[in-house]
Structure 1
Amino acid sequence: MGTSKYPTRLTNVLTTLPGALPARNVPVDANLTDIVTRFLQSFETLRSDDFCPDALWRDSFALSGTIRTFYSGPVIAAAWEHLAQHHSPCEPQLLKDSCAIAYAGTDSSWIDARFNFRTNGPLPAICSGFLSLAYEKDGSYKIWVLRTILERFIGYPSADTMAREKTLGLQQSTKTEYQCLVIGGGAAGLSTAGRLKALGVDYLILEKLAHVGDSWACRYNAARLHGTRHTAHLPFERTFDEEYSLYPSKDEVAKGYRVWAERYGINIWLSTVIKGGSWNAAKRQWTLNVVRNGHDISLTAKHIVMAVGGGGHIPYMPAFPGRESYKGDVLHSSAYKDGSPWKGKRGIVIGAANTGHDIAEDLYEHGLSVTMIQRGPTYMVPLDYLAPVMDAVYNADFDVELADRIHYSSPAAMTRERSNKLIHSLVRANAERFDALERQGFKLVRFGDFFHHQTERQGGHYVDIGTSAKIADGRIKVKSDAFIDAYTPEGLHFSDGTEIKAEVVVFATGFHGNMRQFVADLLGNDIASGIEDYWGLNAEGELEGAFKPTGHPGLWYMGGGCGHARYFSRFVALQILADVQGKPLKIYKDTPSPSINAASSPPPAPVQVAQNRSAPSSRVDDLVVTPNVLGLQHQEGITI
């Protein structure tokens, strides 16, 4: 089904990143505000001895002009000194009531606080930050983790707020020159367009499908979010209120997108096919040639945002001998709608990740006898195990913008280890749930790495929303002890000599290629060869390519899950605004590479954040889990 010059990029960086927790507890009677204030008073001139030796600083466009994680006190201090000379960070304001002690088990805790500050670079800005302080052996406090985030440019609108249009409906402008063209009208494209509109940047979305939301509406009928509606909102509002299911179906997601786009008057051309494009270096301008309503049109813009989905775009469908002899139907999951054409018959699903499980369950619900072919062990994580990780901040009450800052500004290693510690503890406490699957022949990775699958593996796991129970009790059968070696007239033949008969074979085997391949197909190999790949992690634990300059002027990648689209779209839009204003963000690349020594960095435990030790909590294997109450609302600043 096609080939890709730029295959899906898989990395394995997370296990190499340092991230040791503080080794001792903060005294319960510590004056948190006074301690944090002392650090903020020297904020503009932070030195190496202000940081723990193994400190981390993650900057999201506030000073570095990009997303970077710096490791170790000396490296951080050197980077801070250089960037402070160019951006003059000043006027830190501690957010009222944001100081708290965070606990990880019984032998590690630290002080957390939130603050705002200003920078005075070419585009003066308001920024925010998180400060985490460790209690040292000598009784002093040091910065363990620093997070800094670009909020908005002073004198310009905010990317985070936009009034609803008085008259509902999509805009469909007729002009052909724009500051930015957004390719793709899914969550990433809509979020980016909304942010651009909020900032006053002239934009247009180009979407090949006929309706907003069709990127979901056209999926197989059983598709739904494998996360709650609280994680899936688009910018500016709670897109999915109580009217929607907690785990919205594909049609509910499509409706939410459509209503949001009409509510905010998003400018979009639907049923528009892009034939190709080119870059004019002299004018620093893109030209895209499109077909809309049967008419050829040329569009120009200084910027193009590729928002066409982060994974591969070419269906991967392994070939086996004897296909011409098989009398049944064979299709890839991309062509599957539901099991009604084969009601009461037999079905085989090849693949055991999210899509494979969804289709197997749908075939079963349509009365088929279903066998899932598992090609290797699958990391399965029950949805209810993810709830404690996400629900603390993504719920009906917590501010979504703040939740995103808490969740997405954390260094990668910290996010990974906290979630793994919690999930693995729940797995150990509920072994029978996994034993039952293995008794049916389902091969498991019990203690997998959910964050790795999201950021590096790009799938290959199953978030259990119910299908595992049908496998555990035998309603859906599993074949995992042999390889497919050929079709037969009535089914598939395996390397152990067995045959499984079926009237339909569905390949839930994923896709290959990445967004760089889409660039090559659209804009040519000369452009694609000079830009970064999309997704996977670099040596600092940051996503490659996504949300920052790709290596070619005016070309941006935008994608990921719903949360990535919502949060990181603000930074793509802010970077485009800066360039449009003639003051592009200067990217800092000169800090030495971090010294990585995984052996010296034991995994952090999940975090309990509370104003005192008596905060409500639940315990699993002595693991304390409470919501991070660090700044539940946007609070008044206290000028330091």
Structure 2
Amino acid sequence: MSAEASVKQPSFPLKAAAPPSFDIKNRPDPATFDATQIVSDFITRLQKTLENPTASNLQDVMFPDGFWRDHLFLTWDLRTLRGVEKTSEYLSEPATLKKLSSVKLTPSTGNYKRLPLLDASNASSINITAFINAESDQGVGEGVIRIFLDADNNWKAFTIYTTLIKLKNHTENAGANRPHGGLHGDQSSDPRNWKERLASSSEFSSSSPTVLIIGAGQSGLTVAARLTQLNIPTLVIDKNPRIGDNWRNRYHSLVLHDPVWYDHFPYLPFPETWPIFTPKDKLADWLEHYASVMEIPVWTSTTVGSSDYKDGKWTVSLSKNGEERTVNPAHVILATGHAGEPYIPSFAGVENFKGNITHSSKWSNPERLKGKKVLIIGAGNTSHDIAQSLYANGAFPTIVQRSSTHVLSSERGLPELLGAVYCEGGPAIEEADLLAFSLPNAVLKFFHQLITAGMKAPEKDGPTIEGLNKAGFVTDDGPDGAGLVMKYYDQGGSYYIDIGASSMIIDGKIGVKHGKVDKFTEKGILFQDGQEVEAAEVVLATGYQNMRTTAGAIFPCVKDSVNVVAGFDPEGEFQTLYRDSGHPGFWFMGMNLAHCRFFSRALALKIAGKEFGYY
């Protein structure tokens, strides 16, 4: 068994950034602060500064190493600028100046959850977090500012975040702009009802979609929902017979490791009766339901044939249930998942092994392995889930760990990671997303370093980590000690959110073999340390290739031009995802449900801006 080597993600190094901390002179009594008035006064100063955003002027409202994170609002890209010099350069670019000419920043009102929040719990770091509204000549935006009291009792911004949420003259079909739904007056020219019109438009018999999306999972459906509400004709195709089969066909015991309040879909959040952790089949059915309710045109049992891009248009041949169709979209979005095709490492001697070798994406039916030894190569979430399922069905699983793994408990660790932002009874999902994604990733990394260090305490995950290490399972603290989230961003895997398998490893119910594979033998695997471990079956929980590889396989014409997907760019933003891919008219969409929910709007608006002539 062999496959093209996994494309590595050359993520640029991201240095953690700590918030300001001062020995505040003549520290005022926080009880005397009027947070709303302070924010209002600060915004007035900021607006004045933006009229002439030189580095010198910015230092009056920003810390010298402060951040401005911008998602499409000031320019048509995802950017994070650190320091007044770079921020000044960014704000002075011709394209930015044009949009800033009519910008207005004002505090949000009318929603108590968006009132400024004063934090004076730390004597050396008094700060206010406030939501803002923004407006430019092209659109409407929102954002969050975090201002701190400096050593001289002046309020300055450490982080400013702006994001485009609405285009002027091209708003979504939602809220006050929702469709009427009724058919009144003379219908003689078109007597079809709503359902019949929808069915007809979804066939694209006499027209082509403006956007073609490959993959009807959460990535494809969320961005399709955004695009259709912007009146951009969009078609989603999927090779499976049913929407949701990408989850429905995975291993029997799979349940999401993220909680429900982190995983809501745009426009249509999960109901209050939804379980905290979503079972795979329930998510699969929800995807099918979502596509129906959001009226997203989806063609199942459809694959891509030949493709070409010329003069701003694609020519893509599709096979729909054996019927050949050709479409000419302006944009193609690859939404086959943050990870691409299954990564199957090349091992010597696989032809000698008498048992089955199966990648985790195709693995199922653990009950057939009762009483048998099974080796699982890989030590992330999937490997642990499969090992736990095997043990429950009477098998003898052993995890083969070739490198270290970051482990965080679901019960104690996830509440630490998600805090009071994503939790039962927490902020509405729109507010939660603004709070979470407004933080530059460098600042997020600093906070996660603190969380990761704290989780090693005896009353938290410390005993579990110690027990795993004693059992031979090697753990790590993530990149620069920043834990699970940064490891996900940097590497896309090599972590485990513990839902029970760790204690089974400690107790010896799940075996561990840490080491490098030398070769497969007739009975199992020989490791480089000379030990041979026997098995009736080997499961490859080895992850997936980079989406760039999938793009080249499906669309050969983009193979050498698209950029590596994910990891960080030099500014700390995600590479390629939701942004220009390196090939015109070709886009990547992926990551977990929360990122799909949030960044689907950015990608949809980026495409809409191009289609409607904003840039």
TM-score by length of 1: 0.84
Q: Which amino acid aligns with 1:114?
A: F
**Candidates 155, 165, 169, aligned match of 1:155:** 169
- Contact map agreement 1:10 1:458 (CA 8 A) in 2: no
1:336 to 363, 377, 388: 363
In 2, Cα distance between the equivalents of 1:464 and 1:325? 35
Q: State the secondary structure of the residue aligned to 2:346.
A: coil
- Please state how far the C-alpha of 1:241 moved relative to its aligned partner: 2.3
Q: Out of 166-175 and 248-257, give the one that drifted further.
A: 166-175
5 Å matches for 1:424-463? 424-429=453-458, 430=460, 431-446=462-477, 447=481, 449-463=483-497
Residue aligning to 1:403: 432
Equivalent position of 2:294 in the other structure: 264
Counterpart in 1 of 2:278? Answer: 248
Cα root mean square deviation, aligned: 2.4
Q: Specify which of 54, 67, 71 is matched with residue 60 of structure 1.
A: 71
Structure with higher RCO (Cα < 8 A, 6+ apart): 1
Partner AA of 2:532 in structure 1 = E
* Paired position in structure 2 for 1:508: 541
Amino acid at match of 2:104: E
Paired with 2:145 and 2:70, the residues of 1 have a C-alpha distance of: 12
Residue 100 of structure 2 corresponds to residue 87 of structure 1: yes
Identity %: 27
> Using the alignment, how far apart are the partners of 2:164 and 2:173 within structure 1?
11
Query: Could you list the per-position Cα deviations for residues 611-640 of structure 1 after superposition, in whole angstroms to 9, with x for gaps in the alignment?
Result: xxxxxxxxxxxxxxxxxxxxxxxxxxxxxx
Q: Deviations over 1:530-584 (max 9, x none)?
A: 3322111111001111112223322211111111111111111112112211223
Question: Aligned ranges for residues 187-586 of structure 1 at < 5 Å?
Answer: 187-238=218-269, 240-281=270-311, 284-321=312-349, 323-384=350-411, 385-390=413-418, 392-397=420-425, 398-429=427-458, 430=460, 431-446=462-477, 447=481, 449-480=483-514, 482-512=515-545, 514-525=546-557, 527-584=558-615
**Cα distance change, pair 370–552 in 1 and its aligned pair in 2 (3 A):** closer
Q: CA deviation at 1:393?
A: 2.3
Distance 1:163 1:490 in 2: 64
CA-to-aligned-CA distance 1:215-266 (integer Å, 9 cap, x gap): 111111121211112222221021x324432111110110111111111221
Partner of 2:131: 114
Whole-Å Cα distance in 2 between the matches of residues 92 and 326 of structure 1?
A: 66
Is the contact between residue 52 and residue 143 of structure 1 (CA under 8 Å) also seen in structure 2?
Answer: yes
For the 8 Å contact 1:5–1:517, the answer to whether it is kept is: no
CA deviations on 1:16-67 (whole Å, 9 max, x unpaired) are: 2544433356741233223222221233342322211111110111102211
Secondary structure (helix, strand or coil) at the match of 2:382 reads helix
2:381 maps to a residue whose letter is N
Alpha-carbon distance in 2 for matches of 1:315, 1:5: 8
Query: Does the C-alpha gap of structure 1 residues 263 and 433 become closer, same or farther in structure 2, counting only changes over 3 Å?
Result: same
CA distance in 2, matches of 1:299, 1:5: 32
Q: Is residue 42–residue 155 contact of structure 2 (8 Å, CA) maintained in 1? A: no
Alpha-carbon displacement from aligned partner over 1:78-120 (angstroms, at most 9, x marks no partner)? 4224424543243322123622223575532312111112101
Per the TM alignment, residue 515 of structure 1 is displaced from its structure 2 partner at its CA by: 1.9
What displacement does 1:338 show?
Answer: 2.9
Choose from 145, 151, 164 the match for 1:131. 145
For normalisation by structure 2, the TM-score amounts to 0.88
Residue identity in the other structure for 1:275: G
Structure 2: how far apart are the matches of 1:285 and 1:571? 22
SS in 2 for 1:330: strand
Q: Which digits, 9 at most, give the CA deviation of each residue in 1:152-208, with x for residues without a partner? A: 012222377696999899954242511111111010100011001111111110111
Q: 1:488 to 1:4 in 2, by over 3 A?
A: closer
Give the total of aligned pairs: 573
Q: Secondary structure at the match of 1:209?
A: coil
**Matched residue of 2:247: which SS?**
helix
In 2: Cα distance, 1:24 partner to 1:57 partner: 25
Question: For structure 1, which segment, 416-425 or 194-203, has the greater mean C-alpha deviation from structure 2 after superposition?
Answer: 416-425
Q: Is the 8 A contact 1:338 1:362 kept in 2?
A: no
Q: Show the 5 A alignment for 1:598-609.
A: none
